[in-house]
Chains A and B, each alone.
Chain A
Amino acid sequence: MQAAILQMVVTGVLLGLLYALASVGLNLIWGIIGIINFSQAEYLMLGMFTAYWLYQLLGLDPLLSLPVAFFVTFLLGAVVQRFAINRVLNAPALTQVAVTFALLLIIRYTALMLWGPDSRSTITWYSEKSLSVGSVLISYPMLISSILAVLSTLLLFLFLTRTDTGIALRATAQDRATAQLYGIEAVKMYTLAFAIAVGITGLTGALFSTIYWIMPEVGAIFSVLMYTVVVLGGLRSLLGCFVGGIIVGLVECLSAFYITPSMKDVPVFLLLLIILVIKPSGLFARKGAL
């Protein structure tokens, strides 16, 4: 029993690290541009399919296609920001929600039309292998993906805090008008922020392609998880994203164990509702700075 719980906790934490990376993009867009991107999980699906097709057509290991997944979604994100999001930056919340929802429908159901509703998966030499630490088994794909997730988040953190562009991004998030006075082009920064945020989510999709089913409607599963992570962690906080991701991963794994696997998302949704009711700004929300 105790071994099983330990197993669940370890799996939950590893999964949580991946959820954290998946939600970083949502958090960035929410924090910097100020809109909730309801289509965020669709870029995760696109990242998954990028990795899948490279694996299927070229025989490339899904983890080697991480940069490709990043750049494909990065470019798409730049286009979407330029032609859609930019136009509704100052629109009422309702318009923003409707436009991002429209993008969700367009991306998800174009993918469904192209690739059909079946779920696919990738098989690599390490798919079946696992590491045993004491009584706990950790599958290799999970372990590698989580480590890469942590590394990617660290890279993003360094980019945001150590490079001029990153600092300009954070400045725009903090105070758009003042940033513009200092010669930062806000629209350019928004495009960059959106493209990077979406690219990271696409990269997470490629990471997930080794451990999850790949299907066009996978975004429906991930989107609520991602909102929960961001709401739990609070806006503009990378650390919050990690805490939120790990909490969601743990809640999911433990409730799959204690209730039933098909009910595993109910506690997550309830968690989201409870936080929205108690403290809508999130547990680790920071004002201004990222």
Chain B
Amino acid sequence: MIETVKTLAKKDRRIIGVSLVIAFIILAIPFAGNPFITHSFMLAFLYASLALSWNLLCGYCGFFSLGHHAYFGIGAYVTMILMLFYDVTPWVGIIFSGLAATILAAAASLPLFRSVGRWFTLATLAFAETIKLIFINWDAVGAAKGLQLPVKPESLYWLTFAGPEIYYYLILGSLIIEAIILHRIVRGKIGYCLQVIREDEFTAMSAGINPLKYKTIAMVIGGLFAGIAGGFYTTKYRFVDPFSTMDWILSVEVAVCGIVGGLFSFAGPILGSLVVIPVSFYVRSVFGGPLGGRFFGVHRLIYGCILFAVMLIMPEGVLGWIEKRLPISGRISRED
């Protein structure tokens, strides 16, 4: 008995130590003075917050959505419209972004959850593409041209900064808050109900769980955080158009991050984003992209190869794959 307590404590100590080192590295990255690295990890945190919110529905409930970018796009647009047309500070705008995405998710969930499995994936894709086409043709919000914020002096009120450092800490902060909230949710009643629904919807119903209610909750919470991430995107990039904020490739990227990290774990999507996004950002800036690179779609090709390899070699994701081979399992991620 005492032995187990001792080893547990030792294991805990080791995990706390590793976490502290990781936390220190993450906090210190902007001080390395390389804006490229800071920027790429900032982007990774943005994707991590998207992947975390997406995984609530996908990993915990088994509904593979490819329409998550609709909530992100709506969030980006709402903050932009409030800043540009109504002079509202992005601090408030981001809250409204979350609200708008929540409303969209709530409205979409009733029809979308009529279908299950692969049909659901298809339905979410069609839903998000419809939203994108509407924005492409909506003249009041810039249609296909998109909206551009005018240049403003640096200020905290307008969330305008030259370098990526402050955005880095802002997005990291929002990611941490999101992770804490989501962690509480998945460890609480909602999380367990979602997992029961994932395993067997009929069992869930016979246990008195209303599947539609919990699926809607998962979709709405996911939408909320995706919308907030969209708001942060606007403050950083200061330009939104349907092609950059509402392209289906965004949902694919998010799914790749989640799958690479491991869907059935809480930390998986974060780990996946921290691996996939900096790599693809680097590849894109070296080999391709619209600014003079020779190979246009190379980073997306990389997503394809990573996804393909991970699905065939380690279907349980990197985190699950590591855990299977290390004796320290059970502490970091397993929920089920």
Contact = CB atoms under 8 A, between A and B. Distances in A.
B307 A102 contact: yes
B305 interface: yes
B304 interface: yes
Interface residues of A, number: 45
A102 B311 contact: yes
B215 to A, nearest CB: 15
B146 interface: no
A93 interface: yes
A33 to B, nearest CB: 12
A95 B315 contact: yes
A104 B304 contact: yes
B121 A105 contact: no
Interface string A215-231: 01000100010011001
Interface in B265-310: 288, 295-298, 300-301, 303-305, 307-308
Contacts of B288: 113
Interface in B124-173: 125-127, 129-130, 133-134, 136-137
B224 interface: no
A159 B215 CA distance: 44
A252 interface: no
Contacts of B112: 277
A47 B331 CA distance: 50
A257 to B, nearest CB: 16
Contacts of A2: none
Interface in B103-119: 111-112, 114-119
A277 B252 contact: no
B115 A103 contact: no
B307 A93 contact: no
A273 B308 contact: no
B122 interface: yes
A87 to B, nearest CB: 6
State the main secondary structure of chain A at its contact with B. helix
A106 B296 contact: no
A105 B119 contact: no
A112 B126 contact: no
A272 B311 contact: no
A67 interface: no
Interface string B240-271: 00000000100010010001000100000000
B312 interface: yes
A251 to B, nearest CB: 14
A14 to B, nearest CB: 24
A1 to B, nearest CB: 24
B64 A269 contact: no
Contacts of A91: 315
Lowest 9 CB-CB distances: which A-B pairs, in order?
A105-B304, A109-B297, A102-B308, A112-B297, A102-B307, A106-B304, A109-B301, A269-B130, A276-B123
21 contacts: A36-B118, A84-B308, A87-B312, A93-B64, A97-B121, A99-B307, A102-B311, A103-B308, A105-B300, A113-B301, A117-B296, A224-B129, A228-B126, A266-B133, A272-B126, A273-B111, A273-B127, A276-B114, A276-B115, A276-B119, A278-B114
Interface of B: 58, 62, 64, 111-112, 114-119, 121-123, 125-127, 129-130, 133-134, 136-137, 248, 252, 255, 259, 263, 288, 295-298, 300-301, 303-305, 307-308, 311-312, 315
